[in-house]
Amino acid sequence: MRAPSLFAAALCAGILCAQGAVETVRVISKTVERQLNLPGELQPYLRTDLYAKVTGFVEKVEVDRGSVVSRGTRLVVLSAPELASQLAEAESRVAAVESRKAEAAAKLTAVESTYESLRTASKTPGVVAANDLVLAGKAAEAAKSSVSALADQVKAATAAASAIRDLQGYLIVTAPFDGIVTERNVHPGALVGPGGERATPLLKIEQIARLRLTVAVPEADVGGLVKGARVPFTVAAYPGQVFGGVISRIAHSIDMKTRTMPVEIDVENAGLRLSPGMYPEVRWPVRRPGPSLLVPGSSIVTTTERSFVIRIKDGAAEWVSVTRGAPAGDLVEVYGGLREGDVIVRRGTDELRQGTRVQTISAAH
């Protein structure tokens, strides 16, 4: 008895319908939307450490941990007696130079008056010696130079005094923005000053009425990022409650170690229920930039060498290599040499060899 043909073997394996036809479906093209659950981290919208700009002693600390402050609120008052002494000395120097300038100006007026008198008299021959007129002119020029030099000294002394007054202004530390004091490290009597990166900050202040939610989005899903889209998330502190924020900043750079892209979401937190440091679970929307090709998962055949679907073209089986994408309900995204509307075998198998002539019967997805 003859061995059954490949087509008959396929029929026996259930690849063909009872009528001897292969069950087929069409490739669908549509925009895919799905959600990923991604971890995120809440951070303050603004955060800064406050340091002393000048060396001094702490006189008052007018806030504490948890204090709500507004921009410009006085936080810490310092004292620096040596600055007061330097300012007094600088102001005294300004007064002395201004006094000398006033004397020089008075002398200039007298010298110029004498010069003008001699110049007028010199118009009458023999009344004024030419040498006396020259000497008077040189004296007027010297007086002008002296007044100009003293004016420059007044400016320099005034600038020095102003600089010391500016330093005195740094003795009062104020809030740079609306926020909450989250850390206090000094008390009255402490000696503080600018110490660089190793210095301990006087206070730490954070703006948490608005938060930044940072999410690391996988490389495969960054193509669907939409700035301005609203994203829901949950936190362990409030089970069952859903919060939301708006995608505001996209890094546009992939982290080489994690193969993810940092994305920031702005979160309004007027009630201060959320706190920096929380780790929300973000329901991240994934939207492809264009339509995707979708097929049933059973249509994809995977072997050690390749993944493919079987397309029926001109009544014959044709293997088309594909790459499996993300699931979309009962279907799966695929990438490869397919087109929308292509007819493929619903239940693919490598037993249906390429080039085999088959009959088909359409099936719903």
- Model confidence over 295-322: pLDDT tens digits? 999 999 999 889 999 999 999 999 999 9
CA distance 341 to 21: 19
pLDDT for the residue numbered 127:
67
pLDDT band at 7; cut points 50, 70, 90: very low
First to last CA, the chain: 40
Q: Is the dihedral of CA 25, 27, 28, 34 positive or negative?
A: positive
Mean pLDDT calculated for residue range 334-343: 92
Kindly report the number of other CB atoms within 10 A of residue 5's CB atom. Answer: 10
Residue pointed to by tokens 């099936």: 363
3 pLDDT more than 60: no
Kindly state the percentage of the chain with pLDDT values over 90. 51
Higher per-residue pLDDT: 70 or 33: 70
Q: Quick one: which of 170, 166, 163, 165 has its CA closest to 77?
A: 170
Mean pLDDT calculated for residue range 213-238: 90
pLDDT band at 208; cut points 50, 70, 90: very high
pLDDT for the residue numbered 104:
82
pLDDT for the residue numbered 41:
97
Most confident region among 18-22, 179-183, 195-199 by mean pLDDT: 179-183
16 pLDDT more than 50: no
- Model confidence over 120-168: pLDDT tens digits? 777 777 666 777 767 877 888 888 888 888 889 889 988 988 888 888 8
Higher per-residue pLDDT: 256 or 329: 256
Mean pLDDT calculated for residue range 67-91: 90
pLDDT band at 205; cut points 50, 70, 90: very high
Mean pLDDT calculated for residue range 197-216: 91
Kindly report the number of other CB atoms within 10 A of residue 133's CB atom. Answer: 15
pLDDT for the residue numbered 310:
94
Q: Quick one: which of 255, 251, 249, 250 has its CA closest to 219?
A: 255
Q: What is the mean pLDDT of the chain?
A: 86
CA distance 57 to 55: 7
pLDDT for the residue numbered 15:
46
- Model confidence over 256-288: pLDDT tens digits? 999 999 999 999 998 899 999 999 999 988 777
| CATH architecture of the domain with range 6-31+291-362 | Beta Barrel (2.40)
Higher per-residue pLDDT: 261 or 6: 261
pLDDT for the residue numbered 17:
44
Q: Quick one: which of 278, 296, 361, 364 has its CA closest to 334?
A: 296
Mean pLDDT calculated for residue range 250-261: 93
Kindly state the percentage of the chain with pLDDT values over 70. 91
Higher per-residue pLDDT: 210 or 199: 210
CATH of 35-47+207-287, one of 3.40.33.10, 3.40.630.20, 2.40.30.170, 3.40.50.300: 2.40.30.170
For domain 54-78+171-203, give the CATH number: 2.40.50.100
Mean pLDDT calculated for residue range 12-35: 71
Q: What is the 3-state secondary structure (H, E, C) of the chain?
A: CCCCCHHHHHHHHCCECCCCEEEEEECEEECCEEEEEEEEEEEEEEEEEECCCCCEEEEEECCCCCCEECCCCEEEEEECHHHHHHHHHHHHHHHHHHHHHHHHHHHHHHHHHHHHHHHHHCCCCCCCCHHHHHHHHHHHHHHHHHHHHHHHHHHHHHHHHHHHHHHHHCCEEECCCCEEEEEECCCCCCEECCCHHHCCCCEEEEEEEEEEEEEEEEHHHHHHCCCCCEEEEECCCCCCCCEEEEEEEECCCCCCCCCEEEEEEEEECCCCCCCCCCCCEEEEEEECCCCEEEEEHHHCEECCCCEEEEEEECCEEEEEEEEEEEEECCEEEEEECCCCCCEEECCCCCCCCCCCECEEEECCC
CA distance 224 to 3: 54
* One-letter amino acid of 17: C
- Model confidence over 27-50: pLDDT tens digits? 999 887 778 899 999 999 999 999
pLDDT for the residue numbered 47:
96
- Model confidence over 81-119: pLDDT tens digits? 888 888 888 888 888 888 888 888 888 888 888 877 777
Q: What is the pTM of this model?
A: 0.64
Both tokens of 71, joined, read 């921009």
pLDDT for the residue numbered 206:
97
